[in-house]
Amino acid sequence: MMHRECAGAGSTRAGRPGLSGTLRDRTAQAHRAAEAAMRLDFARPDASEYLAVLNGLLVFHTAVAEFSRETVARELGPDIALLSRGQTLRADIRSMSERLPAAADGVCASGHGPDGPVLTNQLRGGREERIGAAYVAAGSVLGGRVIATNLAASGCGDLPQSFFASDGLDLGRLWRHFKTALDAFGTSGADSARVVAGALAAFALIRDIQRWPGASPGTA
């Protein structure tokens, strides 16, 4: 579950879709494909699969932060909390690894295994593509609340989920500010097609990471 937005979100005052709405609409299929690749049965969550999902998310968020963080701070504003969740993921991974030491043995400190393919050049481009990738990463933080709810409903609320539960974040406020800044960026002369392309590349990256748990992403 990457993210869910309220109905009507991402519209301009004139009624035309803003950039955030355009991104939501044009990446819906890629969003579903990325969710389908997540190997986690919420009816009966498996601890080793949960650890693999956390590791995959750490690889993804690390890659997007390196690719997009400076551009987001420059173009959308200095608050990059939604792109700075690596430490929270690492804390959850450490906690899970203590429960499953054998599963953790094959995971590198960076969050991926040593023998998987390198997913090179999936994140590349200029400011628009970097903003598009950041949209996907920020949205995955938003969608984590749904995952936390599903885990609690399945009786697995004791699994470490500081990332999914957005511990320490005023998530509603951060997401509203992010979308407002994104829509303003869309009216500043940005090429929306390139922003969408950056988001699609990020969705493809997280999909491929989940399919190849030993993979590491490359950026260009």
Q: What is the 3-state secondary structure (H, E, C) of 83-106?
A: HCCHHHHHHHHHHHHHHCHHHHCC
What is the structure's pLDDT at 174? Answer: 93
Q: Is the pLDDT of residue 94 over 80?
A: yes
Give the confidence band of 14 by pLDDT, cuts at 50, 70, 90.
Answer: low
pLDDT in tens, 45-67: 788 889 989 999 999 999 999 99
Predicted confidence band of residue 187 (pLDDT cuts 50, 70, 90): very high
**Per-residue pLDDT at 110:** 41
- C-alpha angle with apex 68: 66 to 71, nearest 5 degrees? 125
**pLDDT, position 101:** 67
pTM above 0.75, yes or no: yes
- Output the pLDDT for position 39: 74
Residue 42 clears pLDDT 60, i.e. is over it = yes
Say what the pLDDT of residue 115 is: 45
Residue 106's pLDDT band, with cuts at 50, 70 and 90, is: very low
Identify the pLDDT of residue 72: 95
- For 212, counting Cβ atoms within 10 Å of its Cβ (0-12 exposed, 13-18 middle, 19+ buried), the class is middle
Cα separation, 9 vs 38, in Å, equals 26
Higher pLDDT, 99 or 11: 99
- pLDDT bracket for residue 7 (50, 70, 90): very low
Q: CA-CA distance, 212 to 150, in Å (whole number)?
A: 24
Question: Residue 102 — pLDDT band, cuts 50, 70, 90?
Answer: low
User: Which range is least confidently modeled, 18-22, 44-48, 106-110, 162-166?
Assistant: 106-110
Q: How confident is the model at residue 117 (pLDDT cuts 50, 70, 90)?
A: low
| Average pLDDT rounded to a whole number, residues 141-150 | 90
pLDDT above 70 for 86? yes
CA angle 52, 36, 162 (to 5 degrees): 45
pLDDT at 119 exceeding the cut of 90: no
Confidence class of residue 108 from pLDDT cuts 50, 70 and 90? very low
Task: Decide: 128 and 195 in contact? Cβ < 8 Å.
Answer: yes
Burial of 130 (0-12, 13-18, 19+ CB in 10 A): buried
**pLDDT value for 203:** 96
Q: Which CATH architecture has domain 19-219?
A: Up-down Bundle (1.20)
| Dihedral sign for Cα atoms in the order 168, 172, 176, 182 | positive
